[in-house]
């Protein structure tokens, strides 16, 4: 992948955007994607939508969520320590002892989520998993009055970590879930630039996925797609602690996963697999026996129903500050979707 494309992925993942505060992420994505497709809008909910092609009664929607998990300031005590609530699903084991970024009205400041030193803990405390309401952020002030000059109730907080190269094409970040999916849609428009397609293609950066799949519900209702494909991340099982008998076998670097199950339209699953085979794009099969926890869920049941698919990027350590991906999986997901939109499989492009 070219350095400028990696730099854009870096910007996407490092930009702060928990559920309800996706504007900066959406603006960055919109500015970059407009290089390849100029027709874009933001709806009342905050979803960012790009459109390519004319409406010939075949609307195809690609959706990836812009929001990440994080925290929100709830209370500042008399000593100036900040207490917070979770925004989205976080692992409480990973909350204490971390540096965080707080988005204030005066800009981003750094704080630390404190924890009693292990030397000072008794036996029961060492075994205890702290509740979120017991955790606090220390911003180095003397009291509540000083803290309130800097931080306000309702300010958002995220882990203060960077996009890092581990080795080769393997990278870590706090927010590949689901900025990797947003990047894939951007790449699809890049790959299709200057090409005529016989469908109307919608690329959507949805909001508030992490708190209930909300943006996909409102955007799908407005777009009324005939075909909707969510692009998200999925659990890679090629690391210690993963149970392949439960989650299946998904590997980093082996291609994007194509999901099958009740949330997926069988013909669309077959079509995506056929496109991958025809174009020699590596892919993996993921089986989900229920309703996926992705934007595919609300898309499928929008209005009178939508033919639905799900393409996922293998990811290690989901909902941690060290989410890990392989760049080739992201590239191949984009190639697969671009080829799908260009082709005539599943009756999309009737030439």
How do the domains of the chain map onto residue ranges?
Answer: 3-68+174-347, 70-159
Question: Contact, 6 vs 176, CB < 8 A?
Answer: no
Report residue 350's pLDDT band, with 50, 70 and 90 as the boundaries: very low
Q: Do the two domains 3-68+174-347 and 70-159 of this chain adopt the same fold? A: no
Greater pLDDT, 66 or 243: 66
Average pLDDT (192-217) is 96
Greater pLDDT, 137 or 54: 137
Q: Which CATH class is domain 3-68+174-347?
A: alpha beta
Res 166 pLDDT > 80: yes
Res 144 pLDDT > 90: yes
Please choose, from the candidates 177, 261, 253, 265, the residue with its C-alpha nearest in 3D space to the C-alpha of residue 229. 265
Beta-carbon contacts of residue 277 (< 8 Å; ≥ 6 apart): none
Res 349 pLDDT > 90: no
Fold of 70-159: Elongation Factor Tu (Ef-tu); domain 3 (2.40.30)
pLDDT digits (tens, 9 = 90+) for 181-202: 999 999 999 999 999 898 999 9
Res 281 pLDDT > 90: yes
- Dihedral (CA of 326, 208, 13, 52) sign: positive
Catalytic residue among 209, 210, 331, 342: 209
Beta-carbon contacts of residue 70 (< 8 Å; ≥ 6 apart): 16, 18, 19, 86, 87, 88, 156, 157, 158
Average pLDDT (328-342) is 97
Res 91: pLDDT: 87
Report residue 344's pLDDT band, with 50, 70 and 90 as the boundaries: low
Res 103 pLDDT > 80: yes
Supply the mean pLDDT for the chain.
94
pLDDT digits (tens, 9 = 90+) for 6-31: 999 999 999 999 999 999 999 999 99
Res 347 pLDDT > 70: no
Instruction: Look up 209 and say whether it is catalytic.
Output: yes
Res 351: pLDDT: 41
Tell me which of 51-55, 81-85, 205-209, 309-313 is least confident. Answer: 51-55
């Amino acid at each position: 992948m070219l350095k400028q494309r990696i730099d854009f992925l870096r910007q996407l993942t490092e930009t702060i955007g928990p559920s309800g505060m996706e504007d900066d992420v959406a603006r960055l994505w919109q500015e970059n994607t407009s290089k390849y497709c100029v027709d874009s809008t933001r709806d009342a909910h905050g979803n960012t939508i790009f459109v390519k092609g004319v409406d010939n009664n075949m609307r195809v929607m690609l959706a990836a969520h812009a929001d990440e998990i994080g925290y929100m300031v709830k209370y500042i005590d008399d000593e100036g320590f900040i207490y917070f609530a979770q925004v989205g699903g976080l692992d409480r084991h990973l909350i204490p002892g971390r540096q965080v970024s707080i988005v204030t009205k005066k800009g981003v400041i750094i704080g630390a989520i404190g924890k009693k030193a292990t030397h000072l803990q008794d036996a029961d405390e060492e075994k205890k998993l702290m509740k979120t309401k017991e955790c606090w952020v220390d911003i180095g002030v003397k009291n509540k009055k000083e803290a309130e000059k800097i931080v306000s109730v309702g300010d958002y907080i995220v882990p203060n970590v960077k996009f890092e190269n581990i080795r080769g094409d393997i990278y870590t970040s706090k927010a590949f879930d689901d900025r990797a999916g947003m990047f894939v849609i951007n790449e699809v428009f890049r790959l299709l630039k200057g090409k005529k397609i016989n469908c109307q293609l919608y690329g959507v950066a949805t909001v508030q996925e992490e708190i209930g799949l909300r943006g996909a519900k409102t955007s799908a209702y407005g777009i009324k797609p005939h075909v909707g494909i969510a692009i998200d991340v999925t659990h890679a099982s090629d690391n210690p602690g993963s149970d392949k008998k439960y989650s299946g076998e998904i590997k980093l670097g082996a291609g994007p996963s194509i999901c099958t199950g009740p949330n997926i339209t069988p013909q669309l699953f077959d079509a995506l697999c056929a496109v991958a085979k025809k174009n020699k794009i590596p892919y993996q099969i993921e089986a989900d026996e229920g309703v996926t926890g992705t934007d595919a869920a609300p898309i499928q049941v929008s209005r009178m129903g939508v033919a639905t698919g799900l393409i996922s990027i293998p990811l290690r350590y989901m909902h941690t500050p060290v989410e890990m991906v392989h760049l080739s999986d992201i590239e191949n997901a984009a190639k697969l979707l671009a080829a799908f939109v260009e082709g005539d499989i599943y009756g999309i492009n009737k030439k």
